[in-house]
């Protein structure tokens, strides 16, 4: 049984901070289908539309009937562990540093037999297990087998932790604590066991409800941070950048205008200044420190979370300039993801539908509550997914967008 | 009026002595007999800016981005780009800033008569009152009582309200917000009308973030200092500093805003020429 994670001892400062290594990251274009699903927290395999066979590994044609009519389909992952082995030697740098490593072979109920990374709580073969696709530190999907039923401290399995970004015992920066969402995120991280949550506050003279309650939490530390001010971002990075394990960029400006109902560009510029340039400033200041500490012991830097919006995918004209700023942020987050990948630091994007906040006052429900969104964020870190679409609206729009982006564009235009 | 600029013992200006006067001024500046006091806050990102309700358009705070600093972006030179609103930091308000002054002639930063930008200053010390009450309002009676000590405010003088607000270096204390808004001192409507109509002042200056009090939207009319001053073609200065280094009368203010076409105001450097022998506490009559 997995032992509960205990707070690791402080690091020995005379020892060098090691450089991050990555598991093999090369994949064929077809195999990236597995990654695309895993990024959303889904386990999908190819099914042949002619002979109905499910296959693994992903290839261009059906390995049974050679049909090219293949479709990615969600799988339950249930199967039988046929054999297990312990890897004791590897010339691959990533695994070499993590030996011994548990591997297994599972015959999935849906057909194929697959090689998996094995959770330490799986019983001896033969035994029932549940296989899931998880992103590794290279950002690529691999198969990971869990015990069929929940075990105590399951998330603390050392091998599983190589795939997740659990905030437990970690130190987190939340960039804006003035909103109910920022406060809910900080609370959720504290509940998830974060050691320390720095919460940014811009324009400290403006009094917002809830900040005092936040300040009263012993794990929370309010720090000055204004994403429109490069000097402020640099200053904070200089003070705490070398200590932050997870950055949560939730600062945003949201105004409800299209092109024609607001004269001039000042409101749109403010949205861009926070939602896009703010991310750029933050990434330039905190990115290097995170990358440098990605292999800093069992609690190294692991993740970067961006609050985007479902409107980043397709413009919602009544909130048109906001949508555009979030689309810009989405694009930049892809650049950030590429730049963080060599260190294995995961970039997680949240794409909520309308949040139940001040600026969506006149938007009809359903709206995602700050508390639900905050829990989705923490859950994403614990499971290690990249793209999160929390709430019913976001889920529905995601499916519509994947199905036909042009149709969604027309639907959103009303 | 000129007498007030010079200390006792200085050679008085002669009728033909404009050039001599400037030579003499240069000499006095060189010897330090006339001091230059900087009344300007440093432009920095952390200096608070005026905040309006979030659905309204906002004035930019001061922001600065490095272009190059003897590096690969420009090997031999250092320079920055900065951005700010017309009403950021220590700044000048032109009459066109307010709706009451929008149709006046020469009402914008590029058209204001340049001779209006240098003038005598009367400094009314309200620091004790502002310390006791952040919402302190300067009244006509308070001004008249000041005049009974320091003499009548001369025409075309600046009136500066000293509150020592600029000594609040913590932005939270400087802005002084609570749930009902900002609490900073300023003049009441009657005082402003008195200064404009009966004293013909050229403008009004304050140390806080507006020439009006923090709660001035509840006055009648709202924001009376903006309304009456700019409606009469007069000017405003705000976020001033170091007013405690000025004598009640006798200092000369130099406050030209940037020449922005059709500008409503501008950040600026405000300097005061202060003759020696005129201490902040002693003062001298300008009348």
Tokens representing A361?
């006052």
pLDDT of residue A120: 96
Q: Do B45 and A270 touch (CB under 8 A)?
A: no
- Preferred mutation among A203, A256, A257 to probe B, highest tally of B CBs within 10 A: A203
Confidence of residue B5 (pLDDT cuts 50, 70, 90): very low
Interface residues of chain A, partner chain B, Cβ below 8 Å: 203-207, 224, 226, 228-232, 255, 264, 266-267, 270
How far is A186 from A213, CA to CA, in rounded Å? 11
Confidence of residue B278 (pLDDT cuts 50, 70, 90): low
How far is B271 from B229, CA to CA, in rounded Å? 21
Residues A321, A269: contact at Cβ < 8 Å? no
Q: Could you say which of A206, A226, A266 has the minimum Cβ distance to residue B51?
A: A206
3-state secondary structure at position A398: helix
Confidence of residue B2 (pLDDT cuts 50, 70, 90): very low
- Give B32-48 pLDDT, tens digit per residue: 999 999 999 999 999 99
Cα Rg of chain A (Å, integer): 22
* Residue with the two structure tokens 């705070």: B61
Q: Could you say which of A206, A232, A267 has the minimum Cβ distance to residue B177?
A: A206
Cα Rg of chain B (Å, integer): 19
State the smallest CA–CA distance between residue B22 and chain A in angstroms. Answer: 43
Q: Do B177 and A230 touch (CB under 8 A)?
A: no
Lowest mean pLDDT among A204-218, B160-174, B217-231: A204-218
Domain B35-58+86-275 adopts which CATH fold?
Answer: Glucose Oxidase; domain 1 (3.50.30)
> Can you list the domains of chain A with their CATH numbers?
32-161 (no CATH), 171-412 (3.40.50.720)
* Residue with the two structure tokens 């309308």: A354
Q: Do B177 and A207 touch (CB under 8 A)?
A: yes
How far is A179 from A209, CA to CA, in rounded Å? 8
Across A216-244, b (16+ Cβ under 10 Å) vs e yields eeebbebbbbbbbbbbbbebbbeebbbeb
pLDDT of residue A11: 87
Mean pLDDT, range B48-65, rounded to an integer: 95
Strands (E), A207-281: 220-224, 246-249
Selection from A38, A104, A101 nearest residue A74 by Cα: A38
Greater confidence (B7 vs B197) lies with: B197
Residues B87, B212: contact at Cβ < 8 Å? no
Across chain B, what does the average pLDDT equal?
92
pLDDT of residue B201: 98
Cis amide leading into A366 (omega within 30): yes
3-state secondary structure at position A205: coil
Given a cut of 50, whether residue B287 has pLDDT beyond it is no
pLDDT of residue A319: 96
Mean pLDDT, range B21-30, rounded to an integer: 95
Tokens representing A208?
């917002």
Give the B window 198-237 contacts with A, CB below 8 Å: none
Q: What is the secondary structure of B201-269 as a DSSP string?
A: -SEEEESSSSSS-TTGGGSSSSSHIIIIIIHTT-EEEESB--GGGS-SS-EEEE-PPP--TT-SEEE--
- Preferred mutation among A205, A255, A319 to probe B, highest tally of B CBs within 10 A: A205
Torsion of CA B15, B21, B24, B28, to 10 degrees: 120
Residues B148, B192: contact at Cβ < 8 Å? no
Domain edges within chain B? 35-58+86-275
C-alpha distances (whole Å) from A323 to each of A252, A309, A327 are 12, 8, 6
Strands (E), A136-245: 141-147, 171-174, 196-201, 220-224
Residues of B designated catalytic: 97
Going by DSSP bridges, is the β-strand pair A141-147/A387-388 parallel, antiparallel, or unpaired? unpaired
DSSP-derived letter for residue A73 is: E
- The number of residues making up chain A comes to 414
| ipTM of the complex, rounded to two decimals | 0.89
Strand (E) or helix (H) holding A186: helix A180-191
pLDDT of residue B279: 60
Which residues sit opposite B99 in a β-bridge?
Answer: none
C-alpha distances (whole Å) from A29 to each of A60, A111, A305, A334, A347 are 9, 23, 26, 18, 21
Given a cut of 70, whether residue B285 has pLDDT beyond it is no
3-state secondary structure at position A153: coil
- Preferred mutation among B60, B86, B178 to probe A, highest tally of A CBs within 10 A: B60
Tokens representing B204?
């009004």
- Give B232-268 pLDDT, tens digit per residue: 999 999 999 999 999 999 999 999 999 999 999 999 9
Q: Phi-psi category of A108—alpha, beta or left, where left has phi over 0 and alpha has psi -120 to 50? A: beta
How far is B270 from B166, CA to CA, in rounded Å? 14
Q: Could you say which of B55, B57, B63 has the minimum Cβ distance to residue A229?
A: B63
Burial of residue A348 (CB within 10 Å: 0-12, 13-18, 19+) is: buried
Mean pLDDT in consecutive groups of 10 residues from the start of chain A, 414 residues: 90 91 96 98 98 97 98 97 97 96 98 98 96 97 97 94 96 97 98 97 92 94 98 97 97 96 95 98 97 92 98 96 98 98 97 96 95 98 97 94 96 90
pLDDT of residue B132: 98
Mean pLDDT, range B88-101, rounded to an integer: 98
Q: Do A267 and B57 touch (CB under 8 A)?
A: yes
């Amino acid at each position: 049984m997995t032992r509960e994670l205990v707070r690791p001892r402080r690091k020995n400062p005379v020892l060098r901070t090691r450089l991050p290594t990555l598991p093999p990251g090369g994949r064929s274009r077809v195999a990236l289908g597995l990654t695309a699903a895993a990024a959303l927290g889904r386990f999908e395999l190819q099914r042949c539309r002619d002979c109905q066979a499910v296959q693994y590994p992903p290839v261009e044609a059906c390995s049974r009937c050679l049909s090219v009519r293949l479709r990615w389909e969600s799988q339950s992952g249930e199967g039988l562990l046929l054999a297990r082995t312990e890897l004791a030697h590897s010339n691959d740098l990533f695994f070499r540093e993590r030996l011994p490593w548990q591997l297994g072979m599972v015959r999935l109920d849906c057909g194929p037999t697959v090689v998996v990374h094995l959770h330490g709580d799986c019983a001896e073969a033969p035994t029932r297990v549940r296989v899931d696709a998880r992103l590794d530190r290279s950002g690529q999907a691999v198969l990971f087998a869990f015990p069929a039923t929940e075990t105590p401290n399951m998330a603390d399995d050392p091998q599983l932790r190589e795939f997740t970004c659990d905030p437990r015992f970690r130190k987190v920066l939340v960039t804006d604590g003035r909103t109910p969402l920022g406060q809910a995120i900080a609370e959720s991280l504290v509940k998830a066991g974060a050691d320390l949550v720095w919460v940014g506050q811009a324009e400290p003279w403006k009094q917002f409800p809830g900040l005092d309650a936040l300040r009263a939490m012993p794990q929370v530390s309010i720090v000055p941070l204004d994403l429109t001010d490069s000097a402020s971002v640099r200053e904070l990075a200089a003070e705490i950048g070398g200590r932050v394990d997870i950055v949560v960029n939730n600062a945003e400006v949201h105004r409800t205008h299209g092109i024609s109902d607001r004269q001039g560009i000042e409101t749109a510029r403010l949205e861009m200044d926070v939602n896009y340039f703010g991310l750029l400033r933050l990434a330039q200041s905190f990115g290097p420190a995170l990358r440098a500490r990605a292999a800093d012991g069992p609690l190294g830097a692991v993740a970067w979370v961006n609050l985007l919006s479902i409107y980043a995918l397709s413009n919602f004209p009544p909130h048109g300039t906001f949508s555009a700023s979030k689309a810009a942020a989405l694009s930049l987050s892809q650049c950030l993801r590429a730049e963080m990948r060599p260190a294995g630091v995961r970039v997680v994007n949240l794409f909520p539908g309308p949040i139940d906040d001040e600026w969506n006052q006149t938007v009809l429900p359903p709206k995602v509550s700050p508390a639900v969104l905050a829990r989705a964020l923490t859950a994403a870190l614990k499971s290690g997914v990249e793209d999160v679409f929390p709430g019913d609206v976001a889920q529905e729009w995601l499916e519509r967008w994947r199905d036909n982006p042009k149709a969604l564009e027309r639907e959103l235009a009303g | 009026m000129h007498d007030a600029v010079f200390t006792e013992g200085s050679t008085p200006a002669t009728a033909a002595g404009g050039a001599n006067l400037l030579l003499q001024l240069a000499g006095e500046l060189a010897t330090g007999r006339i001091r230059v006091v900087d009344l300007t806050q440093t432009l920095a990102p952390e200096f608070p800016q005026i905040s309006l309700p979030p659905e309204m358009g906002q004035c930019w705070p001061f922001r600065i981005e490095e272009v190059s600093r003897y590096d690969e972006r420009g090997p031999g030179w250092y320079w920055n780009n900065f951005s700010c609103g017309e009403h950021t930091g220590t700044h000048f308000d032109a009459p066109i800033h307010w709706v009451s002054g929008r149709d006046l002639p020469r009402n914008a930063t590029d058209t204001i008569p340049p001779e209006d930008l240098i003038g005598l200053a009367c400094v009314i010390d309200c620091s004790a009152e502002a310390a006791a009450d952040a919402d302190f309002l300067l009244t006509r009676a308070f001004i008249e009582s000041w005049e009974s000590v320091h003499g009548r405010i001369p025409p075309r003088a600046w009136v500066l309200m000293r509150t020592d607000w600029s000594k609040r270096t913590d932005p939270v204390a400087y802005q002084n917000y609570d749930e009902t808004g900002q609490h900073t001192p300023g003049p009441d409507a009657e005082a402003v009308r008195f200064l404009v109509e009966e004293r013909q002042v050229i403008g009004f200056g304050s140390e806080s973030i507006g020439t009006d009090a923090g709660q001035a939207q509840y006055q009648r009319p709202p924001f009376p200092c903006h309304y009456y001053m700019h409606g009469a073609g007069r000017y405003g200065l705000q976020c001033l500093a170091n007013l405690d280094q000025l004598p009640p009368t006798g200092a000369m203010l130099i406050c030209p805003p940037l020449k922005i076409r059709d500008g409503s105001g501008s950040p600026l450097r405000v300097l005061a020429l202060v003759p020696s022998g005129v201490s902040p506490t002693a003062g001298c009559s300008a009348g």
